[in-house]
A and B are shown apart, each in its own frame.
Chain A
Amino acid sequence: MSGARTNTLATLRGRIERIEAHGDAYAPNKVPLGHAGADATLRGGLALAAVHEVFAEGHQSAAATGFIAGLAGRITARRPLVWVRQDFSDIESGALSMSGFSELGLDPRCLVTVRAADADSALRTAADALACDALGLVVLEVWGEARQLDLVASRKLTLAAQASGVTALLLRLAATPQPSTAETRWIVRAAHSPPGTPSMPAAPSMPAAPWSTWGAPVFDAQLVRNRHGPVGRWIMEWKCDECLFSESAAYPQPVAAAPAHRPHQARDGELQRRAG
């Protein structure tokens, strides 16, 4: 009798554990970024089958795109990638160039681009694509504030990503972060190339200083929200050959200590769109 009761108790406990696990400690697979500090903070890497947001000011669009492309390269190397863009984004910050894409070490053959006319159809297309489990990744690029991308929309995207196992990356250019159900939220800026030796022999008439090396893409990535852990800020360098992020040689120390507490909303003043 007592054995049966223990058994029942154990079953119930197991059920409660499962329910709780599903609700809160949802532990999907993770993919390491390659940057030790970021991976430690993210407890192993970027969560798959979730929504991640990358915010950038308007003039930092290329850096943010590069960061997204890096994440895409980490998340899926061979599976198809759907990149949903708005027409306006092309005009404002240039179309995604396949030559540049392959220069970053990614495979343009896997990429299907959708040019949506407005944010509404872009969001709907992204939601559709997220439901398709043949994809490795869906990128949704939206320019400016979009009232369509509210908490409800973000929840829908998260559920779709969880159901299909496809990861979603939101690239928000010139937008203010709003409450959302994203797993992580990043604010990305460009960082300097590492200083180094002149890339060209300095001619007598040339000042030597500007002719220093042009290195791999370097990002100043600030993790401002992390649902399951602390946040931080790192300088990351994208290694095109190995297709991973790494610590930049030029910035040996972290530029800012990672705060232990969860941050407030991102400071709005910083995200005012500037011309250029």
Chain B
Amino acid sequence: MSSKGYKLTKADFQQINRRNLVGFQAGWNYERMQHTGYLWIILPQLRKIYGDGTEELKTACRTHCAPFFNTSNFLNTIITGIDLALEETDGVESLETVASLKTGLMGPLASIGDSIFGSLLPTIFGALAANMAIEGNPLGLFIWIAVNIVVDWFRCKQTYIAYDQGMKLVTTMSDKLNAITDAATVMGVFMVGALVSTNVGIVVSAVPEIGGVAINIQDILNNICPKLVPAALVGFVYWILGKKGMTSTKAIFIVLVIGIVFGALGWVAKG
């Protein structure tokens, strides 16, 4: 036992949460991504646990800083909380467990965090904010900020919960989270459908003459279902995104070129 028997206090967790919210990803790099950040947010606490200037401290810091680490920056303190509970009681002897815990959890937490916080919330609230913004109303933006404040509160709270519950948390959480994520994707899909019809602003403006009669294509389409052109465009982009070697940036430029050409020819207009 090398641990000096230091018990983490509320102030320690507040410091960890502060560091997490202010600079967890400042050191992000291509080689090992969040490795320095993981150490940086718990460095003061490790110094208290192992004591300054000890070999144990160096070993612990090396264990945290040397290997690759990358997970969701919304859920990373779950790993931190569980890790600190172990290191606090078992000191350097826990480091092997901690290292495998970090590698084991970073993948699953990354996918949960990316889908809920990195994708669904920005979709629903970002789309709402964008939609109101286009009409000149910043209110949606403030709703989004309010939601993110709640998320930040949650990010702080989970450090304590993970520290108290340890590994138990991961198993109890994953079932519930799966159900919530699944239900949230329902709302996500629904919103995308709604946004397609309200935010893709194009109509067919070409009025070809067939046998001396002008055919108003957009009028015919409106009789079938309003907003068919936006739906077709989204369907087209969805299809090209499935092509090999297609990236989102390429897709944006393809749509840009199509828009310029069709618009310049007068086939399609803003609507």
A and B form one complex? no
Q: Which residues from chain A sit less than 8 Å from chain B, CB to CB?
A: none
Q: Which residues from chain B sit less than 8 Å from chain A, CB to CB?
A: none
